[in-house]
Amino acid sequence: MVSTCDSDFANLNKGNVEEEPHVLAVDDNLVDRKLVEKLLKNSSCKVTTAENGLRALEYLGLLDGKKSSMNNNALKVNMIITDYCMPEMNGYELLKKIKESSLMKDVPVVIMSSENVPTRINKCLEEGAQMFMLKPLKCSDVKKLRCHLMQCRG
Amino acid sequence: MEIVGQLQKQFVDFTTSLYREGILDGQFVELQKLQDESTPDFVCELVSEYFQDSEKILTNLTTALQQQVVNFKVVDDHVHQFKGSSSSMGALRVRNMCIAFKSLCEEKNLDGCLRCLQQLKHEFYLVKNKWETLFRLERQILEAGGAVPFVDYRFY
């Protein structure tokens, strides 16, 4: 299930990308999904959530065999934040799929995990993840993310 | 106004006790910081989601541990979910019980897991009860025309 919630700013600021980045947040845990969504919306981001890697790829138009040559969703997304531990397709595997896509490879991907495993962190960073964040997420974490995101596009 | 003062004091004392007893931790403060005028029910709704989700997990855990041949990987996956959501909610004792549970899964200790499940249920229903009381106290303050105090009681 994928849901999109527009922040109130959308109507005032007619899709000004600089002001409100569109973030795709992927997490199989319902509570964590709601939390990351709120954190991002409080930081003036538009948020779309996905409950697993497949749904995320589907949203981005990157699912093999279902590839659409032009997917508006992929073009709108400014950042992807994903949990690492997910069944069937974990965050690292999702990261790889995104980096393999010519359309999405330059979109920053942030990996979240409740476990501080250096080998896991390094593996993700080497594969091109922008940042690794430790759960549970706090208000200050998302602020850092936002600054980082603005700098990336600077 | 005196009623409001009394209710507010009751609320502060109760909330403080939850942090002192380690039932909740600083992550719950983080959740409250996210709540604003446009989303005044954010915390209450999230807690509600957590309750529903947790009940499902506890049912799944009970079932998984009742199987003829217990699949400890499946049990561990459920506990992992519970640990994650409990951690994000600031339900410290529940989270810590999940950590202990994970070790028992790794050891494939069935008796240990069964005992731990009982303790986990105890801790969950305890925090559930406390949260329900907390929100009831909040409602009483609001109904009496007062504002809910923000209790920022974090351990470093």
Residue of A nearest to B83 (CA): A114
Provide the ipTM.
0.92
Q: What domains lie within chain B, and their CATH numbers? A: 2-149 (1.20.120.160)
Q: Note the pLDDT of residue A110.
A: 96
Of B19 and B152, which is predicted with more confidence?
Answer: B19
Q: Do B84 and A30 touch (CB under 8 A)?
A: no
Q: State whether residue A29 sits within 8 Å of chain B by CB.
A: yes
Residues A29, B89: C-beta atoms closer than 8 Å: no
Chain A contact present for B60, CB below 8 A = no
E strands in chain B: none
* Cα separation, B122 vs A63, whole angstroms: 43
Instruction: Provide the CATH topology of domain A19-153.
Output: Rossmann fold (3.40.50)
Residues A44 and A74: their CA atoms lie apart, in Å, by 20
Taking only the tens place, the pLDDT of each residue in A77-113 is: 999 999 999 999 999 999 999 999 998 999 999 999 9
Percent of chain A with pLDDT over 70: 80
Question: Which residue in A has a C-alpha nearest to residue B50's C-alpha?
Answer: A31
pLDDT tens per residue across span B55-90: 999 999 999 999 999 999 999 999 999 999 999 999
Q: Which of B44, B46, B88 to mutate to test the interface with A (most CBs of A within 10 A)?
A: B88
Give the residue from chain B lying closest to A31, CA to CA: B85
Q: Which residue has the higher pLDDT, B25 or A68?
A: B25
Question: Helices (H) and strands (E) in chain A — how many of each?
Answer: 7, 6
Give the global pTM. Answer: 0.89
Q: Quick one: pLDDT band at residue A74, thresholds 50, 70, 90?
A: confident
**What is the domain partition of chain A in residue ranges?**
19-153
